[in-house]
Amino acid sequence: MTFFKNLVRDEQGATAIEYGLIAALIAVAAITAMTSLGGTLSQTFQDVNDNMTPGGAAA
């Protein structure tokens, strides 16, 4: 019975789970932001590439 009382009072496991959930939330937010930014950045580089003239050509 004492084991179960100690198990209920022990908050280390709960704290570890909370930290894990926070880390997972941050990871999801970072992946979402990078995916969105990656598409925008790729389009920007493509626009620059499309508007560049070959070396030595007069504009």
pLDDT in tens, the chain (59 residues): 787 676 667 666 778 889 999 999 999 999 999 998 888 888 889 999 889 877 655 55
Residue 53 neighbours by CB under 8 Å, 6+ apart:
59
Report the pLDDT value the prediction gives residue 8, as an integer from 0 to 100.
65
Closest alpha carbon to 40 in 51, 48, 26, 25: 48
Q: Is the pTM of this model over 0.75?
A: no
Residue 59 neighbours by CB under 8 Å, 6+ apart:
53
Q: What are phi and psi of 58, to 5 degrees?
A: -80, 140
Report the pLDDT value the prediction gives residue 23, as an integer from 0 to 100.
96
